[in-house]
Chains A and B, each alone.
Chain A
Amino acid sequence: MAEFEPKLIAFCCSNCATSAANVCEAIGLSTPGNVDVVRIPCTGRVDILHLLKAFEIGADGAYVAGCSDGNCQFRDGNIKAKRRVARAKKLLDEVGVGGDRLEMYNMSASMGPEFAKMARKMTERIRELGPSPLRKK
C-alpha cells in the first residue's frame, strides 16, 4: 500500500513565515508538496473558524506559522493566535478529530531551512496519526 501522504494547511504570516518560505525556495530547499500555504497578513488574523474549516474541508492536519515571540509587527498577533490555536485544539479534541492535528510554530523571516523542517515535522506527526477521521468517513 502506498504511504499515506497527509494533506496539510499552513496559515502563514506574510511578514515572517511567508518570507521564510521564499528563502527556503531561494536556497534550493523544497517545501513538501503536501502543504497548502494560506498567506495571512498577521497570525492575529487567524480565527478559530478558519482552523476548524481546514479540518471540515478535509485537511489531515493544519498549523499556524507566525513570528517569534516579541517580534510581531502588530505587537501581539502571534500571542493571540497561540491562544486561538489552543482553543481550537480543545474543540477538535471534543469533536473527536484530535487536537494534536493542529499546531502553532514561531519563526523569523530568514529561517528558510526551519520552514521546510517544520513542514516535514508536522507531516511526520500527521503521518503517524493517520488520515483525519473525517476523511475516513
Chain B
Amino acid sequence: MIIAEQKPIQEIKSMIAGYQKVLVVGCGTCVTVCMAGGEKEVGIIASTLRMALKLDGKEPEVIEDCIRRQCEWEFVDELKEKIEGVDAVLSTACGVGVQALAERFGDKPVYPALNTTSMGMPKEHGFWIETCRGCGDCGLGKFGGVCPIARCSKGLLNGPCGGSQDGKCEVDKEMDCGWQLIYERLNSLGQLDQIEDIVQPKDWSTDRDKGQRRIIREDVKV
C-alpha cells in the first residue's frame, strides 16, 4: 500500500485560504488503512481547517466526501457534480489520487492535504514502514525476500556495511538493519551461502531513469 501522512494544518490552510467553497475529499483505500486520508481523517482535517480559517476571520464553506479510490476513473467520476459546485478541492489521497482529480477536473484547483511518503505496510498498529521502492526489476529472490533498496539506508546490494550493530542501522539506532534481516532470513532458509554471492551492479533503467514508467498491455484492453 501507499503510505502518507497529513501536512501541517497551517500549510493546508495557506493553500486553500482564498476560496469560498472547498471540498475535502478522501480515498477509501491505502490512505484509509494508513489512517491519513480516509473518511475519518477527512472529518478531522475539515474540522481543523474550519476552525483555523475562522480564526483568520474567514468562513468558507468546507464540505466533505470520501470515495472508494481516487486513482480510478470510475470512482473519481462520482465526484463530478460535487466538484462542479466548489471553488477548490483538497484531496486527502496520495499523490496519485491528487493528480487523478487534477486531470479529470481541468478547471478546478486541486491541492494535496498529505505528504505521500512511501510504499510499505503497517508493521503494527500506528507504525508504518517502507518496504519497496518500486525499482522495476525486483531482486527479492536474491535477498531472502527482504529488499535492500528500501530497507538498507544505503541501498547496498552487497551488505551489510560496517555500521550494522546489534541488528540496527548506524543511520538510525531505532531502525532495523536491512542486511541483518536479509542475513537472518537466509540463515533460517538454510541459504546463507547466498550472501557470499557478489550481486552485480543493478540496471537502474527500470527505475526512474527513463522518465515516467508506463505499462501497456493489449491483452487486457477493452
Whole-angstrom CA separation of A130 from B54 in the bound complex: 18
Q: A27 an interface residue at 8 Å Cβ cutoff? A: no
Q: A1 an interface residue at 8 Å Cβ cutoff? A: no
Is the pair B55, A49 in contact by a Cβ cutoff of 8 Å?
A: no
Digitize A125-137: 1 where CB-to-B-CB distance is under 8 Å, 0 elsewhere.
0000000011001
Q: Which residue of A lies closest to B13 (CB)?
A: A95
Interface size of B as a range: 10 to 19
Whole-angstrom CA separation of A56 from B62 in the bound complex: 13
* Set of chain B residues within 8 Å of A53, measured between Cβ atoms: 47
Is the pair A49, B43 in contact by a Cβ cutoff of 8 Å?
A: yes
Q: B48 an interface residue at 8 Å Cβ cutoff? A: yes
Digitize B19-47: 1 where CB-to-A-CB distance is under 8 Å, 0 elsewhere.
00000000000000000000010011001
**Chain B's nearest CB lies how many Å from the CB of A69?**
20
Q: B63 an interface residue at 8 Å Cβ cutoff? A: no
Whole-angstrom CA separation of A97 from B153 in the bound complex: 40
Is the pair B40, A95 in contact by a Cβ cutoff of 8 Å?
A: no
**Chain A's nearest CB lies how many Å from the CB of B207?**
36
Digitize A59-94: 1 where CB-to-B-CB distance is under 8 Å, 0 elsewhere.
000000000000000000000000000000001001
Chain A interfacial positions (CB closer than 8 Å to B): 47-49, 52-53, 55-56, 91, 94-97, 133-134, 137
Chain B interfacial positions (CB closer than 8 Å to A): 8-10, 40, 43-44, 47-48, 50-52, 54-55, 57
